[in-house]
Amino acid sequence: MNYNTVIIADGTFPAHKIPLEYLRNAEHVICCDGSAENLINFGLEPEAIVGDMDSLSDDLAERFADRLFADDEQETNDLTKAVMWCRGMGYKDIAIVGATGKREDHTIGNISLLVEYCRDANVIMVTDTGIFKPFLESSEIASFPGQLVSIFSIDPETEITSEGLKYPLVNARLKNWWVATLNEAVENTFTLSFKEGRVIVYLKFRDR
């Protein structure tokens, strides 16, 4: 799928070639307010800067005054505000970068939000080590033999069965986040079957 929109969150700016490739190839680049300076230092300019603007310098606020979309509502974080802005613009194929690093609590929160965003958008999170993909239903997932895979269930009562993984899941209830980590694909695809629930899959990049 072509993720033509990239949102840059205010975590650690990406360094790996894959998230940077998403960024360079994007038609629309949207910044959470604190990430704008990193994007500009990288040599690109944002289409929009979204958030409560508490992390945006006065100089950048003045320079990009025509593309600031301030939202000081405190019930959601800046990443969610950026996703909502994109949906309002009709941008639904979204890759999120820069959403990990700096603070672990922000990292966990941002990853968990993928299952909320995917109700209305095709969204993934691309880090410097791999990709997080959310699923709300049984799915076949593209992979490669030997790819390291971890599976997380937001709903611990969801029963998950897998095919194509080295360590199969059979009606498994993932009661804690570690339970289905450190698995491995054995084919070019694997499947996850579950009746209902919210599941996040981590797919590690090939080793360099």
Residue 108's pLDDT band (cuts 50, 70, 90): very high
- Architecture (CATH level 2) of domain 5-128: 3-Layer(aba) Sandwich (3.40)
Residue 33's pLDDT band (cuts 50, 70, 90): confident
Q: Which amino acid is at 47?
A: E
pLDDT digits (tens, 9 = 90+) for 151-181: 999 999 999 999 999 999 999 999 999 999 9
3-state percent breakdown (helix, strand, coil) of the chain, nearest 5: 25, 30, 45
pLDDT at 21: 96
Which pairing describes strands 199-204 and 172-173: parallel, antiparallel, or unpaired? Answer: unpaired
What is the average pLDDT score of the chain? 94
Query: Would you call 123 helix, strand, or coil by DSSP?
Result: strand
HEC sequence for 16-37 = CHHHHHHHHHCCEEEEEHHHHH
Residues 6+ apart with CB under 8 A from 63: none
Give CATH for domain 135-204. Answer: 2.60.120.320
Distance CA 10, CA 103 (A): 10
> Mean pLDDT lowest for which of 66-75, 91-100, 139-148, 190-199?
66-75
Domain with CATH 2.60.120.320 in the chain: 135-204
The yes-or-no verdict on residue 1 having pLDDT over 70 is no
pTM here?
0.94
pLDDT at 192: 98
The proportion of the chain whose per-residue pLDDT surpasses 90, expressed as a percent, equals: 85
